């Protein structure tokens, strides 16, 4: 009995499959259409996984505003099917969720806790909350809320903020990045090992079922995060702050979505390092990758 990982070709899914090794069975859009209820039920009944970690999601935040039906099918309907069959098999379901559930402002005065009431805005955020509610229909559920994922440099398929800033810094005389959204970008290897800890190595969690915030620690803005990326990369490129309104994205973004990770750390799992330390770890591995490529 293995652990089924959906979205296995994505940043988090790929890392979980690497971490779990032979214990993992990965599926992605090319092997299982999660919006097809019959296919989901047939596949899981055949595999009888001892747990399911659901990483697959519709994450194109802006496109979701004009593609709401597809977004809801992936972020809600698929979770309903997984929860149904996990309940039938008595298998834990781990649902990956997002800081976008909180459309608050810095006036809150503290990071968001698991028992705070979500107030999502935008199609993506609303469907992720509905996905949480669908996952909670499975008695054995773990909902992990996280933020701003970026994968190991070795994951060449990954698309994330760090890679985007590195690409732009190589080609642009200056960068302009939003500086009025406070959050905590999270390094995927740290998140993956935390998820495995919460779930338990044998797929049976010793942690209470429910919601856990798991991000790197501290907080920053996307502009400050970009400046640290540029600095660690050794680029002499200015990063200018802009307001969210200047960015003019189709979908709304949270002004303050820092998550309180106290509940996770009380479990005694691997400590989530600070966001600067995590980024430093990324660049240390990137250096190793580049040195090996140059040999």
Which positions are catalytic? 124
SS3 248: coil
What is the rounded CA–CA span in Å between residue 118 and residue 115? 9
Instruction: Evaluate whether 7 touches 30 at the Cβ level (below 8 Å).
Output: no
Helix (DSSP H) and strand (DSSP E) numbers for the chain: 11, 12
Pairing between strand 3-6 and 24-27?
A: parallel
CB 188 within 8 A of CB 259: no
Tokens (6 digits) for 66: 């004009």
Dihedrals phi, psi of 56, to nearest 5 degrees: -65, 140
5 close to 55: Cβ distance less than 8 angstroms: yes
Rounded to an integer, what distance in angstroms lies between the CA atom of residue 60 and that of residue 184?
19
Q: Provide DSSP, 115-127.
A: TSPPB--SHHHHH
Rg (C-alpha) for the chain, rounded Å, is 19
Classify the C-alpha dihedral 205-207-213-216 as positive or negative: negative
What does the alpha-carbon distance between residue 34 and residue 31 come to, in Å, rounded to a whole number? 9
End-to-end Cα spacing for the chain: 41
């Amino acid at each position: 009995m293995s652990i089924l990982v959906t979205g296995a070709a994505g940043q988090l899914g790929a890392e979980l499959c690497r971490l779990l090794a032979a214990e993992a069975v990965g599926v992605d859009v090319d092997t299982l259409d999660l919006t097809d209820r019959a296919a989901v039920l047939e596949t899981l009944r055949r595999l009888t996984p001892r747990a399911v970690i659901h990483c697959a999601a519709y994450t194109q935040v802006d496109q979701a505003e004009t593609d709401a039906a597809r977004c809801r099918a992936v972020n809600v309907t698929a979770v309903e099917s997984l929860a149904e069959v996990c309940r039938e098999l008595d298998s834990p379901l781990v649902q990956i969720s997002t800081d976008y559930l909180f459309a608050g402002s810095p006036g809150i005065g503290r990071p968001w806790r698991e028992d705070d009431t979500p107030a999502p805005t935008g199609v993506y955020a609303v469907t992720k909350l509905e996905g949480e509610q669908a996952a909670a229909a499975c008695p054995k559920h773990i909902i992990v809320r996280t933020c701003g994922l970026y994968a190991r440099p070795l994951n060449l398929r990954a698309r994330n903020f760090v890679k985007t800033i590195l690409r732009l810094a190589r080609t642009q005389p200056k960068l302009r990045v939003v500086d009025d959204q406070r959050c905590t970008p999270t390094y995927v290897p740290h998140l993956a090992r935390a998820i495995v800890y919460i779930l338990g190595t044998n797929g049976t969690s010793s942690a209470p079922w429910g919601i856990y915030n798991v991000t790197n620690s501290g907080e920053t803005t996307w502009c400050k995060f970009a400046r640290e990326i540029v600095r660690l990369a050794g680029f002499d490129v200015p990063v200018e702050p802009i307001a969210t309104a200047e960015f003019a994205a189709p979908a709304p973004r949270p002004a303050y979505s820092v998550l309180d990770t106290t509940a996770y750390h009380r479990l005694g799992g691997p400590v989530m390092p600070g966001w600067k330390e995590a980024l430093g770890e990324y660049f240390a591995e990137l250096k190793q990758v580049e040195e090996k490529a140059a040999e």
